[in-house]
Chains A and B, each alone.
Chain A
Amino acid sequence: MRARTQAAIGAGLVLLALLPPVAGRLEARLPLQVLGQYPLLVAGGALAGAALARRHGRGAGWSAAAALLAGAAVLGFWMIPRWIDAAVALPSVRTLRALSLVLAAGLPLGWGWALAGPVLRGFALANAVPMLAVTGWILLVVPARLCNSFLVEDQRLLGRLQLALALAILVAAVLRALAGGPAQGAATDRRMRRASPPIASPQAPRATNTSPSGIGSRKP
């Protein structure tokens, strides 16, 4: 049931982001587009992806790292100025972008995040923070206007917002790790569920050695 609610909320977010008056507003300014519309679409897909993982993700832990990487690449693709411009110029690209942010970025990110162990999650965040910061810095220092369709002020503002967001994610992640927090709880729950059926390896008590994290579980 919870999965269904989650998927419904996800669909709601996507609809909100694409609702003509809202979409028009969000797409009018670069920072609103990248830090408003994109996150709504990605979060919408991610909620569905996480719900999917909860239902059908058993034994699919191996796909977590791949899914996170693929989702991040798609999200990164739509942050390339060339394609931001293309989406403004061509309605077909704009539609493709909305679809792919939900299905090819959000969905795998949600799926991968739900299946990822704490190490992989930490690794993803520890990569996301520098990437967000570095791209933000580029937007701030590059002498050129990168998007033909947006003012340079928008570009600089987006850069500053990305730096702030990177810092905020870092602080939040550290606080959460200090507290132990629900992130760990969720991962442990899932692992215990995974370990309980008899399909698990005979060394069931070694639960910590059977993380689905692609990073941690790769064997030498």
Chain B
Amino acid sequence: MAEAQAAATGGTAAMDRGRTWVVLYLATTGVVILLMMVFGLLMRLAQSEWIVLDPAVFYQLLTVHGIGMVGIAALGGIAILWHFLSAHVPLRSAALAINLVLFLVGVVMILWAVFIGGFAPAWTFLYPLPAISGGVWEPWAGVLDLTGVLLIGVGFLILCLEMGRAIVASQGGLGRGLGWHVLFGGSTDKPPAPTVVAGTMVVIVTTLALVAGATIVVMTILNLLFPSLAIDPLFAKNMIYFFGHVFINATIYMGVAAVYELLPRITGRPWKASRVFLGAWTLSTTMVLIIFPHHLLMDFAMPRWTMVLGQVLSYVNSFPVLAVTGLGALAIVHRSGIRWDLVSTLLLIAMFGWMAGVIPAVVDATVSVNYVMHNTLWVPGHFHFYLLLGLLPMIFAFMIHLARDEDVTARGGDLTAILYLLFGLGFVAMFLMGGWASVPRRWAVHMPEWLVWDRIATVMAAGVIVLAGVFVAIFLARIPRLLRHG
């Protein structure tokens, strides 16, 4: 609608950059994140034995919490990336509209399948669990759920293609979007802006993830409809973890655009794409596509070399984040005269959360550690660390940035951000402690000796939800004004 309006008024579209849609994306993100957090809290409450939850309901919540968070992380990440990328390359916001519609339709289908159809195979829907539920759900629920997943995938595919088109058109190829002409060609052309580099990486890896995801989802749907079409379970696992790993990883590469764009504006120090920076992003692009076997270290049927690759490359993949992006962010704020406010503190937390979240991941990707830590709470410990304290602060910072009409002048305190960090740290620490205590992940009922970690986590989760609610409320309260002036 924004664009039709723009067309009618004769060409403010270049200024518009799909802002109305970005605002709607963030509103959806905020509301869904809170809802999913409440689902998470319910699960922790049940594990703490403070409420009683039917295991069937627990696993339904688990499924929705997982897929919902993955989807909404991508939606929020895209909002950030789109907003900043559209200043560098001309994007058509119709793709945003199509994606949001497909997303919402998909969400309704998934919720229907899970809460009415009882479909609960976790968000990873590892074959053949969707088809073999032990009588808990019918095949139709699986078909409905996976069709919803497929629709959401189609929406994100269209978004990626549109971003890819714009990058190719304006930069002359995705290779140039990654700065390869500077990195490899020794070209003296201006390197692409960091946001363009991030956008290019997201386009490449997400598109490939979606193609793989669509393939395995369609295969699983066909298997539900025609059980004689059997899938090799190990192949299915590889496809699902390739898709899942790349897709969820891409969300933080979307969100990091907020750091690249806002920190320089706040401090007045430019973030330029140096050759090291470009090299780091090219490395990340490659690594994120090939390190997924670290999810399969306990599948001894996998070829040995994939295990070696999974461990060594997982470690190598931490270089770009730890030594380049993180350091760049720290350098920009170091002795910059910055006055910390909500936005800048959230961005700093985001960089810390991302970098720190990498650490337990690298530890767990070590085969000998994985041998006794895989599928314990250590794993959710790692990804909650970098999603809750890495990606979400980026999204919250961006929400508040928009609510402040994109004015980067520091204002107000940052107490809520600090509290969010503390509750968040407490929350993820309890997951990591659970991993240390060998608590298996995805258990509806916990043993008595594990309750202490569960109960502290529950309290921390409640705190996180309250503070996230504050950030979302700040944004939602501003929406009428944002839409009016959008």
Contact = CB atoms under 8 A, between A and B. Distances in A.
A197 B456 CA distance: 69
A219 B98 CA distance: 9
B392 interface: no
Interface in B1-41: 1, 3-4, 7, 10-11, 13-14
Contact of B172 (A126, A180, A218): A180
Contacts of A211: 92
B101 to A, nearest CB: 8
A180 B175 contact: yes
Nearest to A121: B161
A134 B218 contact: yes
Say whether chain B's binding surface is mostly helix, strand, loop, or mixed.
Answer: helix
A179 interface: yes
A219 B18 CA distance: 12
B422 interface: no
B132 interface: no
A220 B13 CA distance: 14
Interface in A162-220: 170, 174, 177-181, 184, 188, 201-203, 205-206, 208-209, 211, 215-220
Contacts of A215: 95, 98, 158, 161
Contacts of A205: 11
Contact of B4 (A144, A177, A181, A219): A219
Contact of B219 (A127, A137, A179, A188): A137
A126 B161 contact: yes
B168 A180 contact: yes
Contacts of B180: 178
Interface residues of A, number: 40
Contacts of B231: 137, 141
Nearest to A205: B11
Contact of A174 (B7, B13, B98, B208): B208
B100 to A, nearest CB: 9
B92 A216 contact: yes
Nearest to B95: A216
B168 A184 contact: yes
B13 A209 contact: yes
A48 to B, nearest CB: 27
B48 to A, nearest CB: 42
A201 B231 CA distance: 51
Contacts of A91: none
Given A126-B210, A130-B211, A119 B173 contact: no
B169 A122 contact: no
B192 interface: no
B433 interface: no
Contact of B228 (A117, A143, A201, A206): A143
A208 B92 contact: yes
Which residue, of B98, B165, B207, has the highest number of chain A Cβ atoms within 10 A?
B165
B263 interface: no
Interface in B148-193: 157-158, 161-162, 164-166, 168-169, 171-176, 180
A153 B150 CA distance: 32
A126 B215 CA distance: 10
Contacts of B162: 119, 216
B1 A220 contact: yes
B288 to A, nearest CB: 14
Contacts of A130: 211, 214-215, 218
Contacts, number: 118
Nearest to A122: B161
A156 B322 CA distance: 47
A129 interface: yes
Nearest to A181: B173
B323 to A, nearest CB: 25
Contacts of A180: 168, 171-176
Interface string B369-393: 0000000000000000000000000
Given A119-B95, A122-B161, A134-B218, A129 B211 contact: yes
A90 interface: no
B92 A138 contact: no
Contact of B168 (A118, A133, A201, A202): A118
Contacts of A218: 94, 98
Contacts of B218: 130, 134
B157 A123 contact: yes
A131 to B, nearest CB: 8
B97 interface: yes
Contacts of B1: 220
Contacts of A1: none
Which residue, of A142, A143, A211, A220, has the highest number of chain B Cβ atoms within 10 A?
A220
B164 A217 contact: no
B90 interface: yes
Given A118-B165, A138-B229, A219-B3, A203 B92 contact: no
B94 A220 contact: yes
B230 interface: yes
B329 interface: no
Contact of B165 (A119, A181, A201): A119
A141 B229 contact: yes
A218 B208 CA distance: 25
Contacts of A133: 215
A184 B171 CA distance: 11
16 contacts: A122-B165, A123-B158, A126-B210, A130-B215, A133-B215, A179-B175, A180-B176, A203-B11, A206-B14, A208-B166, A209-B7, A209-B92, A215-B158, A216-B165, A220-B3, A220-B4
Interface of A: 117-119, 122-123, 126-127, 129-130, 133-134, 137-138, 141-144, 170, 174, 177-181, 184, 188, 201-203, 205-206, 208-209, 211, 215-220
Q: Would you list the 8 A-B pairs with minimal beta carbon distance, nearest first? A: A180-B173, A220-B97, A122-B161, A178-B175, A130-B215, A118-B165, A130-B214, A119-B161
Interface of B: 1, 3-4, 7, 10-11, 13-14, 90, 92, 94-95, 97-98, 157-158, 161-162, 164-166, 168-169, 171-176, 180, 204, 207-208, 210-211, 214-215, 218-219, 222, 228-231
